[in-house]
Amino acid sequence: MKFLDLCKVYIRSGSGGGGAVSFRREKYIEFGGPDGGDGGDGGDVWAEAVDGLNTLIDFRYQQHFFADNGQHGMGRQRTGKTGEDIVLRVPVGTEILDEDEETVLADMTELGQRVLLAKGGNGGWGNLHFKSATNQAPRRANAGQPGVERTIWLRLKLIADVGLLGLPNAGKSTFLAATSNARPKVADYPFTTLHPNLGVVGVDNVEFVVADIPGLIEGAHEGRGLGDLFLGHVERCAVLLHLVDGTSGTLIEDYHTIIAELDAYGAGLADKPRVTVLNKIDALDDEERAFLREELEEAAQQKVYLMSGVSKEGLTEVLRALRAQIDDSRLRTKAEEDTGEEDAPWQP
């Protein structure tokens, strides 16, 4: 299934049915009077957050959603049928934006949440409503109100607890593959990750969700590389995991590149709690590890963890550091039969 996190959708609620102009025509009833029924209301357009979806790919194949119109009123005081509503089923974490792509109409952050996007038009009154002592045979009825037609944007921001950051080939996908059942593409060339991946990671009998996004490069906020299109998927994360390639010859520059892109993107990403990790230490000796760690700690002004996604060295320590930054309300307790050893939470 392809990944799609932004799409344009056209919606229209149903128009109300018109009221009827009708009179009783029955044998032996000399003064029958008006009996025109009201028109039915038009259908509404709703959005609902549902389980089991993590992409907007369904909206690539259908972009137009029209609710049914209300039925016209009829004689003998019969009211027209109300139009059927239509529901846009979206993944949890979807933002609904107005046509300007800036105004947020709704943020679907909870399972089962429903939002009214377009109200159907009211049905018109039949001539029975206009009967009075001075107008006992009204020959007028109201037309139904028109429906609401609008263009909206759907933007998905994945719900995750930890967001992975780093330059291309910093080892983000390797980390996700080593700590969860996710199987992202791993290769020895940049930009192997072309869309976000989610993985459920466990440590000390609790689980949390990690989001791996495509790597950033300098100038991503200006559209270079894959740009910052996917940074929205880590906006909702409780903590960011910043992986720095220990085998890079420009270690400190790499670190500052990512920090600068977070600052340029905004949305509070630069202020989020961050765990910094010197990755790929399996390719470094003890002296190199100590030297690079000291340099990176001086640049980051915080503790730097050592880790290797390939040899799994230091993984547990990093996971525990992430777990400490996540509120208990966001964590999920592992089932007893699924709990593995604490020192090796990534093993089945």
Question: Which of 265, 330, 309, 327 is closest to 173 using CA atoms?
Answer: 309
Question: Domains plus CATH for the chain?
Answer: 1-156 (2.70.210.12), 162-338 (3.40.50.300)
pLDDT of 205 strictly over 50:
yes
pLDDT at site 43: 97
Q: Is 142 annotated as a binding residue?
A: no
Q: Is 243 annotated as a binding residue?
A: no
Q: Is 212 annotated as a binding residue?
A: yes
pLDDT of 332 strictly over 80:
no
pLDDT band at 5 (very low <50, low <70, confident <90, very high): confident
In the numeric block, the tokens 């509404």 are attached to 44
Q: Is 87 annotated as a binding residue?
A: no
**Which tens digit of pLDDT belongs to each residue from 14-61?**
999 999 999 988 888 777 889 999 999 999 999 999 988 878 988 988
Q: In whole angstroms, what is the distance from residue 156 CA to residue 152 CA?
A: 13
**Which tens digit of pLDDT belongs to each residue from 221-273?**
555 555 566 777 788 888 999 999 988 888 899 899 888 888 888 778 888 89
Q: Is 203 annotated as a binding residue?
A: no
| Tokens at 237, concatenated | 């994360």
Q: Is 127 annotated as a binding residue?
A: no
Q: Is 103 annotated as a binding residue?
A: no
pLDDT band at 340 (very low <50, low <70, confident <90, very high): very low
Q: Is 172 annotated as a binding residue?
A: yes
Q: Which residues of 16-35 are buried (b: 16+ CB within 10 A; e: fewer)?
A: bbbbbbbbeeeeeeeeeebb
Q: Is 166 annotated as a binding residue?
A: yes
**Average pLDDT, integer, range 270-298:** 90
Q: Is 164 annotated as a binding residue?
A: no
Q: Is 281 annotated as a binding residue?
A: yes
Three-state DSSP state, 38: coil
**Which tens digit of pLDDT belongs to each residue from 108-159?**
999 999 999 999 999 999 999 999 989 988 999 999 999 999 999 999 888 7
Q: Is 22 annotated as a binding residue?
A: no
Q: Is 244 annotated as a binding residue?
A: no
Q: Is 249 annotated as a binding residue?
A: no
**Average pLDDT, integer, range 92-111:** 92
| Tokens at 79, concatenated | 């009211």
Decide which of 114 and 165 is more confident.
Answer: 114
pLDDT of 185 strictly over 80:
no
**Average pLDDT, integer, range 288-310:** 91
Three-state DSSP state, 233: helix
Q: Is 316 annotated as a binding residue?
A: no
pLDDT at site 89: 95
**Which tens digit of pLDDT belongs to each residue from 64-87?**
999 999 999 999 999 999 999 999
Q: Is 168 annotated as a binding residue?
A: yes
> Residues near 225 by Cβ (< 8 Å), separated by ≥ 6?
168, 191, 214, 215, 216, 217, 219
**Structure pTM?**
0.75
Q: Is 45 annotated as a binding residue?
A: no
pLDDT of 346 strictly over 60:
no
pLDDT of 301 strictly over 70:
yes
